[in-house]
Structure 1
Amino acid sequence: MTSPAPLTIDRSELELLADGRHGSPHSVLGPHPHDGGVTVRVLKPLAAQVVVRYVEPAGGTTEVELVHEHGGIWVGVLPVADVPDYRVLVTYDGHTLQLDDPYRFLPTLGELDLHLVNEGRHERLWDVLGAHVHHYEGLGGPPVTGTSFAVWAPHAQGVRVKAAFNHWDGREHPMRQLGTSGVWELFVPEVGSGTQYKFVVLGADGEWREKADPLAFHAEEPPKTSSVVFESGYAWGDAAWMEDRRAKQPIAAPMSVYELHLGSWRRGRSYRELADELVPYLADLGFTHVELMPVMQHPYGGSWGYHVTSYFAPDARYGTPDDFRYLVDQLHQAGIGVILDWVPGHFATDPWALVRFDGTPLYEDPNPQRGWHKEWGSHIFNFGRREVRNFLVANAIYWLEEFHADGLRVDGVASMLYLDYARGPGEWTPNVHGGRENLEAVGFLQEMNATAYKRVPGIVTIAEESTSWPGVTRPTAYDGLGFGFKWNMGWMHDTLGYLHYDPVHRSWHHHDMTFALTYAWSENYVLPLSHDEVVHGKGSLIRKMPGDRWRQLATLRAYFAYMWAHPGKQLLFMGGEFAQESEWAESRELDWWLLDNPDHRGVHDLVRDLNRAYAATPALWALDADPAGFSWIDADDAHHNVYSFIRRGGDGPDLVCVANFSAVPHGDFPLGFPSAGVWEEVVNTDADVYTGSGVGNFGAVTAIEGEASGQPAHAMVVLPPLATVWFRKREESPVLAEESPVLAEESPEATKTTGGALNPATSPVTTEAKEPGAESVSD
């Protein structure tokens, strides 16, 4: 049959297309039936020859050579009534390539998806934006595999994809704008997982910018900046964990968290190598959760991950996204939850990332009083824009659903809540009510928390919030922010401040240790000893303790046991579990050789035993959110530097904790108990096995009826120096007062201890007390 003339296109449209300014390249390029034929236009600016090879209706193939029309656009007419299955033969410098045509495919986003994007309500935004491998059947030819690219750039004049498949010349692959959504899309056949790519965006200001994909699942390892197409093939093995998680309430469950920086726990380890080493280490230590400092892709290692460039891509320094899934999976199978540090408050300034993405302040707030973080030198998200909120909310859900994370610790919440954060007079503008609260950020945090808890039951969100903002952990239905927990920064500063003093001066600061109990149930708290306390000249935890090395180690051990028994969950940064000597630096790994030193091994073993005793004692966590789970025995014994309290709750027995932060033991110390009977010395931080001085109570004490410190029973106990002791009621019949031995006079054996660790009553071993002088049993 005779071919009709090519479908006419106005030259101005051809010029827009060649210049990259055409919002609908598919209306020009690709197949267009008309007048009994099909006009095909192909954009190949550097080609010497372009031919279309197509399958005829009756079978067989035919070729039609295209002619150059304008600016790299080639055109020809196929003499068929309907669009056939065809391929494009492109010749460059004598070499011919056979390619499929991206402009013969329909959009990969549906109307509902675009509507949800417009509304800022697409909770699985990552399903439609970014790069996705698709496999198509039934297109009139063999199956087609390719990748759809989609990006939100509402003010862009044009968007292209550049990659190896077009010799990094984005002119060959202009994207189409889908309606008024601001989404640009293109399906490129014969492109699969592992392909590196970038978007080239012609901004509203007329400037071309190369950009990484904001929703890329994978990225090149820094300093390279390309995004990488990634199709997951991971098969999870943590179904039992995930099912059990759905039924849990974290506030009423044990939570002992190990905070970890992936790159410096041990240097040079991949996600899979970390799984082989980290999982058994944490399982032995007994931590219930690990909190990973940001694993989202960031270009500068010295930022520790807090200046993010690719929010949906795990850090490529350690492997692929499926490698990271493997690490999470192995932790879950070992019974360890995974909390991810998440940074929605600000983002990196790198020009190839989110900054002025479409030539306008798109992700960042356009108001410099709100859009620039003076303290951290980074951009602040525009929390008032629905699409930006959607990006962040979907990102939170992404890590919880796609990577099975059990929680998110949200960084820098205080900086988000206040318009005047780190700003002086005249550097901020009040909100519509005249206040300093960032109402848009509040709304975002509420939306994020409500959505996360709705979609992923059993997870937890944790706020790093250092002010007295009310209702951080109150449900959003009651106008709270909706977090599950809040870091108790006040507890951390007060207790570390108290311990900084020499014991002889601590009585003047006694209530620094008790103050947190005046507000302990105003929020659900995590007690953090985090990375922030061991960097930037602050020194390691052990170096914060006064005195000689023996006193430093003893104080740290006593502090840990006091912390583990205190209301709230606990978090310890890596290295603290064996009294890391040097300040943390991300450029080197922990001082693992210290574990060969008995003093440091003793701290490690104590943390292990604390975790095991904690998990086995519901009284320490079942009523964390209820004041009924705690009562003081004596909060006011400043003279002796002693604190004593009771933890209650769950199905098990009560636990009595008594901490002696003086440098001398106290013998025949009258301690109130909630009931008469035998109370086992579950933990004694001064025990021999921890390289303590060996002072204790032979594994147990017997409380007799008789009021002391407001309690109905009491016992005369020995309190080791710079030590904390836990007593747990033995399940047996109470001992009556007249049947009990009277401990009114000091026994010559009172300064001996079992030397055991967890429940030492099962294997009594007595040793003579060692320094700092067991012969002194009082102040």
Structure 2
Amino acid sequence: MEELAILKSDSLLAPYANAINGRYEYFESIEKKLVPEGQTLSNFATGYLYFGLHRLSDGWVFREWAPNASAIFLIGDFNNWQRHPDYQLKRIQNGNWEIRLPDYAIAHTQLYKLLVEWEGGSGERIPAWARRVVQDDTTKIFSAQVWSPFQPYVFKNTKFKPTTDPLLIYECHIGMSSSQEKVSTYEEFRTTVLPRIHRDGYNCIQIMAIQEHPYYGSFGYHVSSFFAASSRFGTPDELKHLIDDAHGLGISVIMDIVHSHAVRNEVEGLGRFDGTPYQYFHGGSRREHPAWDSLCFDYAKPSVLHFLLSNCKFWLEEYKFDGFRFDGVTSMLYRSHGLGEDFSGYESYYNMNQDGDAICYLTLANKLIHQVNPYAITVAEEVSGMPGLATRVEDGGIGFDYRMAMGIPDFWIKQIKEIKDEDWKVGNILWELTNRRVEEKTINYAESHDQALVGDKTIIFRLIDSEMYWHMQRGDSTLVVDRGVALHKMIRLITATTINGGYLNFMGNEFGHPEWIDFPREGNGWSYKYARRQWELVDNEKYLYNALGEFDRSMIELINSVPEFNKTAIQQLWDKEGDQVLAFQREDMVFVFNFNGLKSFTDYGILADQGSYEIVLNTDNSVFGGFDLIDESVVHVTTPYPRDPSGREWLKLYIPARTAFVLKKKAD
């Protein structure tokens, strides 16, 4: 076997070569078992075309996998939910069941379930491959729904190709995207929020909570029906229309896909689907996730691999999603689910704690996804830092395109919460933001939805707290608000401009959305007050929320102005801890930060490439809630510094306290 590229690129992995080679060989052996010679993973992952309910030219066919079942009946409003012999499935082979029905037996929008019987018991079940599941407004009971419209949605944009250099992600949740206290819809998002995202310059939306989930407050992470787009937001055709329109605007659409665990529910979900606890999941002590109150898939089972891989292909083919952000990857990689682990060195990754079957599944999933769509985007939510996660499969990696830089938001929380402003170390800030594996692309972010949930605080809330309720009008700010607004811009600017792959922002956080996210629940009187986005704040020019929104738009515009910005080298130019001044360069742009809250500097010298520079973005601009202390019309010309062997010269600048700006070198 030729040495894998991952081992060539990192000599520190040499002691673990056997583990890495073994992992790759295991993946290859499983792929060969799943895929007949001459076929591909894409050919294998077509279960959604076989299982579930399908209309035929002369009627209907329904199939389900339930190896432990002794009898299965289709029940619904078409037979008064009764166990009727005309609707009994027949066992065919390999634990599969089938029923064929005439065209008149069922109709579009009718409701149905399965009555599954097994030795010693029975239960109603929603089909595992159901493509639409709805909840009754009165009884709150979930049922599968026949979805076969006379005129299915036809996509207009059929040749869309995502922009990924860089990838600028707007993380969003359909239900809470309205300013009204309600569950919003795909249609409302398409017509009101999507244009905002396009105007703000983001080129990708990451949609949460698409897969159907019984409990709204789970944020979509306790999935029950893996092939059903959540009906609480609208119809399948309306979701397709949203994705199609996004593509028309040049915006790619990825979804949060949850394959790390499943909801425990038995009637709505896959728990004990055929009467056994281990059909889809581990048996024994590994069945239940110790921290998430959910069930853990057994990735060693070919039928489970078929189900999950088919699920990946289904969303790509049926809805034209451009890829996935895989949730809970750390939990999948390790038998301990990463709980209580410090991951302090390479030895933490290559030991008996690794879940080889889960790693194999993720590798298969990434290979499949890129077979189906070579331009697809895969992102891993992973905190341990396992090497090779975002390395190509053929190079010995797991195959993700990007990994989330999950340490960055934790770093910012610690900075704000535990360290006095005067003790912030600017060199350490840059190191934390750029401390990553060179060969793996990452997604930088200052905060995501995780930092906005009730019980936690957003960056703006940590910086300003209760004063945001009274002093966020322009001209009526306090010292606390001024500090918070300034640091909010600086934190986002340095996080976004140090990317090597992409940047992520959660819906509303770009303008410092006040308060937290709290879904309706018994503890808050089932209120939607905190499960919405107050767009009227960013739209009102009297508010500093508007200023923060304008800054974010200008920042994203600046990044978009540089082709393949994420691939340009970061060169540190200046780092003086005593002054708390930092500067770095990317191509012909120089980024200058003064985190000092007390000192402004006049004629401050930074060594930069010879030339003339002009300011192209300035956090202190009054449009962005600043004080216009910097004259942006001044062209800054370098002066000689003979002792510097690189030929760099002094760039003399006025740098007000707690500001940042970007200079661009003028063409000769």
TM interval, shorter chain, is 0.7 to 0.9
Are 2:555 and 1:591 equivalent residues in the alignment? no
Task: Choose 377-386 or 705-714, whichever is displaced more.
Answer: 705-714
What is the SS of the residue equivalent to 1:603? helix
Deviation of residue 262 (structure 1)?
Answer: 1.3
Instruction: Quote the residue 1:481 is aligned against.
Output: 398
CA deviation map 1:20-65 (0-9, x unaligned): xxxxxxxxxxxxxxxxxxxxxxxxxxxxxxxxxxxxxxxxxxxxxx
Q: 1:504 to 1:189 in 2, by over 3 A?
A: closer
8 Å Cα contact 1:258/1:290 also seen in 2: yes
User: How many angstroms apart in 1 are the aligned matches of 2:563 and 2:633?
Assistant: 21
Q: 1:152 aligns with which of 58, 65, 78?
A: 65
Question: Partner residue of 1:605?
Answer: 550
Aligned to 2:440: 523
Q: Is this contact kept in 2: 1:646–1:655, CA < 8 A?
A: yes
How far apart, in 1, do the equivalents of 2:440 and 2:549 lie?
30
Deviation at 1:180, TM superposition (A): 2.8
- Residue of structure 2 equivalent to 1:539: 457
Distance in 2, matches of 1:225 and 1:115, equals 42
| Structure exhibiting the larger radius of gyration computed from Cα positions | 1
Per the alignment, residue 689 of structure 1 pairs with 623
Letter in 2 for 1:657: F
> Would you say the 8 A contact 1:120–1:389 is kept in 2?
no
**Whole-angstrom distance in 2 between the partners of 1:131 and 1:564:** 45
Q: 1:314 to 1:504 in 2, by over 3 A?
A: closer
Secondary structure (helix, strand or coil) at the match of 1:127 reads helix
- CA apart distance, 1:512: 4.1
Amino acid of the structure 2 residue aligned with 1:665: S
Over 3 Å counting, the alpha-carbon distance change for 1:540 and 1:378 in structure 2 is same
Aligned to 2:188: 273
Contact kept in structure 2, 1:510 and 1:638, CA below 8 Å:
yes
Q: Distance in 1 between matches of 2:171 and 2:270?
A: 28
The alignment status of 1:669 with 2:604, answered yes or no, reads yes
Q: Deviations over 1:413-466 (max 9, x none)?
A: 0001111126679xxxxx9x9610001000000000011011111111000000
Q: Are 1:619 and 1:655, in contact at CA under 8 Å, matched by a contact in 2? A: no
**2:210 is the counterpart of 1:295:** yes
Pick from 128, 131, 142: which aligns with 1:214?
A: 128
Matched, 1:724 2:660: yes
- Aligned partner of 1:263 in structure 2 is 175
CA deviations on 1:189-232 (whole Å, 9 max, x unpaired) are 312322211111112x4311111011111111363311112126
Asked if 1:394 corresponds to 2:316, the answer is: no
Residue identity (%): 24
Over 3 Å counting, the alpha-carbon distance change for 1:646 and 1:513 in structure 2 is closer
AA paired with 1:401?
A: E
The answer to whether 1:229 aligns with 2:161 is: no
Deviation at 1:709, TM superposition (A): 10
Contact 1:120 1:390 in 2 (8 A): no
Q: Could you say what secondary structure the match of 1:356 adopts? A: coil
Aligned to 1:384: 300
Supply the distance in 1 between the matched residues of 2:65 and 2:656 (Cα, whole angstroms). 64
Residue 182 of structure 1: aligned partner: 96
In the alignment, is the contact (CA less than 8 A) between 2:256 and 2:326 conserved in 1? yes
TM-score between both structures, scaled by the size of structure 2: 0.83
Question: In 2 relative to 1, CA 655–502 (structure 1 residues): closer, same or farther, beyond 3 Å?
Answer: same
CA distance in 1: counterparts of 2:410 and 2:197, whole angstroms: 27
| Aligned mates of 1:717, 1:120 — CA distance in 2 | 57
CA RMSD after TM alignment: 2.7
Tell whether the 8 Å contact from 1:216 to 1:227 is kept in structure 2 after alignment.
yes
1:752 aligns with: none
TM-score, structure 1 normalization: 0.71
SS at match of 1:355: coil
CA contact (8 A) 1:297 1:315 kept: yes
Alignment counterpart, residue 84 of structure 2, candidates 171, 183, 199: 171
In 2, the alpha carbon distance for the partners of 1:659 and 1:505 equals 14
Give, in angstroms, the shift of residue 700 of structure 1.
4.7
Is residue 2:560 matched to residue 1:615? Answer: yes
Separation in structure 1 between the aligned mates of residue 424 and residue 121 of structure 2, nearest angstrom: 66
The answer for the alignment partner of 1:135 in structure 2 is 57
Q: Is the 8 A contact 1:474 1:482 kept in 2?
A: yes
- Superposed displacement of residue 302, structure 1: 0.7
Give the Cα–Cα distance (whole angstroms) in 1 for the partners of residues 440 and 264 of structure 2: 34
* Number of residue pairs aligned between Structure 1 and Structure 2: 585
Change (3 A) 1:369 1:477: farther
Whole-Å separation in 2 of the counterparts to 1:540 and 1:706: 45
Report the residue type matching 1:228 in the other structure: Q
Aligned partners of 2:286, 2:561: CA distance in 1, in Å? Answer: 48
| Inter-partner Cα distance in structure 2 for 1:687 and 1:503 | 26
> 1:404: which partner in 2?
320
Measured in 2, the distance between the counterparts of 1:113 and 1:153 equals 22
Distance 1:389 1:148, change over 3 A: same
Q: Per the alignment, in what secondary structure is the counterpart of residue 640 of structure 1?
A: coil
**CA apart distance, 1:332:** 1.2
Contact 2:330 2:338 in 1 (8 A): no
Determine if contact 1:160/1:174 at 8 Å carries over to the other structure. Answer: yes
User: Does the aligned pair in 2 maintain the 1:696–1:718 contact within 8 Å?
Assistant: yes
Q: In the TM superposition, what are the counterparts of 1:489-568 in structure 2 within 5 Å?
A: 489-500=406-417, 504-507=421-424, 510-519=427-436, 521-528=438-445, 529-545=447-463, 548-568=480-500
Work out the CA distance in 2 between the residues paired with 1:209 and 1:120.
Answer: 34
State the 1:478 CA deviation. 2.4
**Is the 8 Å Cα contact of residues 446 and 481 (structure 1) preserved in structure 2?**
yes
State the partner residue of 1:317.
Answer: 232
Deviations 1:653-691 (A, max 9, x none): x221111111132221112223x2222211101111112
| CA shift for structure 1 position 697 | 4.2
SS of the equivalent of 1:419 reads coil
The structural deviation recorded for 1:607 is 0.6
How far off is 1:470 after superposition? 1.2
Measure how far apart 1:506 and its partner are: 2.5
Separation of aligned partners in 1, 2:202 and 2:233:
23
Paired residues for 1:729-748 under 5 Å: 729-731=665-667, 733=668
Question: Which residue of the other structure, out of 256, 281, 295, is the alignment partner of 1:341?
Answer: 256
Is the partner of 1:193 in helix, strand or coil? Answer: coil
Secondary structure of the equivalent of 1:554?
Answer: helix
Q: Which has the higher contact order (CA 8 A, sep 6+)?
A: 2
Equivalent in 509, 515, 533 of residue 576 of structure 1: 509
Partner Cα distance (2:580, 2:284) in 1: 50
What are the residue-to-residue correspondences of 1:364-375 with 2, within 5 Å? 364-375=280-291
Report SS of the residue matched to 1:545: helix
Distance of aligned partners of 1:116 and 1:185 in 2 relative to their CA distance in 1, 3 Å threshold: farther
- Quick check: 2:583–2:591 contact (8 Å CA) kept in 1? yes
Equivalent residue for 1:698?
A: 632
Q: 1:685 touches 1:723 (CA, 8 Å); kept in 2?
A: yes
Shift of 1:115: 13
1:611-636 residue CA offsets vs partner (Å, 9 max, x unmatched):
1111111262244xxxxx221112x3
Shift of 1:337: 1.3
SS of equivalent residue, structure 1 residue 548? helix
Q: How does 1:413-452 map to 2 (within 5 A)?
A: 413-421=329-337, 435-452=352-369
Please name the residue that 1:125 is paired with. Answer: 47
* Aligned match for 2:576, one of 637, 645, 648: 637
Q: Are 1:657 and 2:591 an aligned pair?
A: yes
- Say which SS state the counterpart of residue 363 (structure 2) adopts: helix
For 1:39, the equivalent position in structure 2 comes to: none
1:558 Cα shift? Answer: 1.1
CA distance 1:227–1:715, change in 2 (3 Å):
same
8 Å Cα contact 1:342/1:410 also seen in 2: yes
CA distance in 2, matches of 1:565, 1:577: 15
Secondary structure, counterpart of 1:614 in structure 2 = helix
Unaligned runs of 5+ in 2: 1-33, 342-347, 465-478, 520-527
CA distance in 2, matches of 1:229, 1:642: 62
Paired residue secondary structure (2:81): coil
The structure richer in helix per residue is 2
Instruction: Give structure 1 stretches of 5+ with no counterpart.
Output: 1-111, 137-145, 426-430, 624-628, 649-653, 734-779
Tell me the SS of whatever aligns to 1:621. helix
**Residue deviations 1:539-559 (CA, integer Å, cap 9, x gap):** 222022276011001100111
